[in-house]
C-alpha cells in the first residue's frame, strides 16, 4: 500500500527546524509584551460568512483560496485564511471592544489554497497584533514601531524596507469606486471578462489586472489620490512625521493596496529582497469599519500580520539564528543492566528536581554499554552518567564521564552524584 503523504503545501516542521521557530516565537512574544499587548486565541474554523463579510466576497482569498466545507450539521465553515476576522469576532463576542481600548496579539496557522512555492504555502503560520479603540496615527506608528523592534532584535533591520500608503477613508474609497466604475463602464468593450465581472462588484480589484491591455487603459483611469479626503491626508502626514521622529525610514508606495477589503487610511508592508519572489514578510494597516461591518458597535482599529515561514527562511539564509537556540541536552544517563531500571529512574528524577534547568536523557530500551555510549555522544550531551553493576550487586557508585576527546571520568558515591554533577557542570 502506498504511504500517505502530507497535503501539498502543508509542511511538517521537524525537530532540527523547530528551535528556529521557537527562537522566533520567543522574540516575537518578548516584543509584544514589551509594548503591553495581550494574547488572544481563537479557533482555526469559523463560519464562512465571517470571512466573506470581512475580507470581501470579491477578493482572491474568498473567491479562490479558502478551504470551505459543509460540516455534519450542514453549516458552511472555513479554515481561517487570516487572523483579523476571527480576532474581531472573538473580541466583540466577549465584550472586549465595548468602550475599551485593547492591544492584542495572536499566533497560529492560517490556510489558503494557493499555488505552493518557496515562501508560499497552503498552511502557514502568522504572528499578528490588533489594536482596538484608538483613532489617531499614534497607534499606527506604535504597531509599525513594534514590528521594527522585532527586526532589530532579530538583526534583520538592514534587510527590510517599510512601504506605506494612504488608501483613503471608507467614504473616500466609496466615492472613488463609483468614479472608477463609471470609467470602466464607459470602456467596457475594451475590458476582458474578468475585469468586466469585477467592474461592479469590486472595481478596485480591476487595478490589479495582469492583462497588459487593461493596464494600458487604466493609465487614464481616475486616481485614488484625487479622492482622498483632507482628514485622511492629515492622518497620514502625522503618521509620517511620527515615523521620522522615532527614526523609522519608509518609502511611500502609491501602488500599495493590500488584498483584503477591510483596510482604510494607512496601510503598510515590510519587504525584503533576500527571499526572491515572496518578499513581503509583514503587512497591515487601519481597518476602522470592520467591527461595525461585522455587527459590532463602531470601533476603530489597526493591526498587522507577519508570515513566520518567510521570517524563518530569512533568518536561516542570513545566518541570524544564534547557535545556542539549538536544543541540546546536558546529560545522557547510561543504564547498563535491566536490574538498574528503577535506580536510574529514581536518580534521574532526583537530578531533575535538584537542577530544574538541567536537560537530562535517561537511556531507555537496554542494550550494550558501547551502543549506549555511542548514543550519548550523538546526543550532544556534555557528560554521561554511567550506571553499571554486576548481576545481584547493589549499585553503590556511578561514573560521570566527559563526552569530549578527553573522556575523563570520575567515580562517585551514588548519593553524591548530584553534588559532583553540579561541580562538573558548574550549576547549582
Site of interaction with ligand ATP (CB under 6 A): 82, 112, 114, 119-121, 124, 126, 259, 278, 280-283, 305-307, 309-310
Closest of 148, 136, 97 to residue 268, by C-alpha = 148
Distance of closest approach, residue 253 Cβ to ligand ATP, in angstroms: 13
Phi, psi of 324 (to 5 degrees): -65, -15
Residue with cell 518557496: 118
Closest CA to 80 of 93, 71, 67, 91: 67
Query: Shortest gap between Cβ of 37 and ligand ATP (angstroms)?
Result: 17
Q: Which residue is nearest to ligand ATP (CB)?
A: 307
Identity of the residue, 320 or 354, whose beta carbon is nearer to ligand ATP in the bound complex: 320
Cα–Cα distances in Å, from 159 out to 22, 211, 281?
Answer: 21, 32, 11
Q: Pick the closer one to ligand ATP by CB: 143 or 387.
A: 143
In terms of CB distance, is 82 or 130 closer to ligand ATP? 82
Residue among 25 and 339 whose Cβ is closer to ligand ATP: 25
Give the residue with the Cβ less far from ligand ATP, 155 or 278.
278
In b/e form, how buried is each residue of 71-87, taking b as 16+ CB within 10 angstroms? eeeeeebbbbbbbbbbb
Closest alpha carbon to 288 in 142, 128, 169, 137? 169
Minimum distance from residue 8 beta carbon to ligand ATP (Å): 12
Is 124 or 176 the residue whose CB approaches ligand ATP more closely?
124
Q: How far is the CB of 32 from ligand ATP (least distance, A)?
A: 16
Concatenated DSSP letters of 70-92 = E-TTS-EEEE-SSSHHHHHHHHH
The answer to whether the CB of 199 falls within 8 A of the CB of 185 is yes
**With contact defined as beta carbons under 8 Å apart, do 383 and 403 qualify?**
yes
Residue 119 beta carbon to ligand ATP: minimum distance, rounded to whole angstroms: 6
**Nearest approach, Cβ of 51 to ligand ATP (angstroms)?**
12
Measured CA to CA, the distance from residue 265 to residue 285 in angstroms comes to: 8
Question: Which helix (H) or strand (E) segment is 388 a member of?
Answer: strand 383-388
Is the CB of 304 or the CB of 332 nearer to ligand ATP?
A: 304
Residue with cell 472586549: 96
Pairing of strands 161-166, 264-271: antiparallel
Q: How far is the CB of 84 from ligand ATP (least distance, A)?
A: 9
Amino acid at each position: 500500500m502506498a504511504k500517505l503523504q502530507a497535503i501539498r503545501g502543508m509542511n511538517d516542521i521537524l525537530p532540527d527546524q523547530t528551535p528556529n521557530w521557537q527562537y522566533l516565537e520567543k522574540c516575537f512574544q518578548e516584543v509584544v509584551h514589551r509594548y503591553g499587548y495581550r494574547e488572544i486565541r481563537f479557533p482555526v474554523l469559523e463560519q464562512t460568512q465571517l470571512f466573506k463579510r470581512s475580507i470581501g466576497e470579491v477578493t482572491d482569498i474568498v473567491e479562490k483560496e479558502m478551504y470551505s466545507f459543509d460540516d455534519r450539521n450542514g453549516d458552511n465553515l472555513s479554515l481561517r485564511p487570516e487572523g483579523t476576522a476571527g480576532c474581531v469576532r472573538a473580541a466583540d463576542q466577549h465584550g472586549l471592544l465595548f468602550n475599551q481600548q485593547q492591544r492584542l496579539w495572536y499566533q497560529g496557522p492560517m490556510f489558503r489554497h494557493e499555488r505552493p512555492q518557496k515562501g508560499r504555502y497552503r498552511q502557514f503560520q502568522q504572528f499578528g497584533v490588533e489594536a482596538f479603540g484608538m483613532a489617531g496615527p499614534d497607534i499606527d506608528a506604535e504597531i509599525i514601531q513594534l514590528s521594527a523592534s522585532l527586526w532589530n532584535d532579530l538583526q534583520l533591520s538592514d534587510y527590510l524596507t517599510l512601504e506605506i500608503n494612504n488608501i483613503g477613508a471608507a467614504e473616500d474609497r466609496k466615492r472613488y469606486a463609483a468614479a472608477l466604475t463609471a470609467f470602466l463602464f464607459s470602456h467596457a468593450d475594451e475590458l476582458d471578462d474578468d475585469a468586466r465581472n469585477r467592474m461592479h462588484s469590486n472595481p478596485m480589484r480591476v487595478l490589479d489586472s495582469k492583462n497588459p491591455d487593461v493596464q494600458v487603459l487604466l493609465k487614464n483611469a481616475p486616481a485614488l489620490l484625487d479622492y482622498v479626503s483632507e482628514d485622511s491626508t492629515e492622518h497620514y502626514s502625522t503618521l509620517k512625521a511620527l515615523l521620522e521622529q522615532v527614526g523609522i525610514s519608509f518609502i511611500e508606495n502609491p501602488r500599495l493596496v493590500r488584498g483584503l477589503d477591510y483596510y482604510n487610511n494607512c496601510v503598510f508592508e515590510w519587504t525584503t529582497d533576500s527571499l526572491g519572489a515572496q518578499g513581503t514578510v509583514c503587512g497591515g494597516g487601519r481597518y476602522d469599519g470592520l467591527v461595525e461591518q461585522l455587527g459590532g458597535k463602531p470601533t476603530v482599529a489597526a493591526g498587522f500580520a507577519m508570515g513566520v515561514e518567510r521570517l524563518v527562511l530569512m533568518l536561516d539564509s542570513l545566518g541570524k539564528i544564534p547557535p545556542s537556540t539549538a536544543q541540546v541536552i546536558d546529560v545522557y544517563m547510561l543504564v547498563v543492566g535491566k536490574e538498574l531500571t528503577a535506580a536510574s529512574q529514581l536518580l534521574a528524577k532526583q537530578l531533575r528536581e535538584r537542577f530544574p534547568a538541567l536537560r537530562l536523557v535517561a537511556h531507555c530500551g537496554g542494550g550494550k554499554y558501547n551502543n549506549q555510549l555511542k548514543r550519548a555522544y550523538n546526543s550532544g550531551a556534555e557528560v554521561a552518567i554511567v550506571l553499571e553493576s554486576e548481576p545481584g550487586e547493589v549499585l553503590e557508585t556511578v561514573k560521570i564521564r566527559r563526552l569530549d576527546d578527553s573522556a575523563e571520568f570520575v567515580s562517585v558515591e551514588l548519593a553524591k552524584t548530584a553534588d559532583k554533577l553540579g561541580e562538573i557542570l558548574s550549576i547549582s
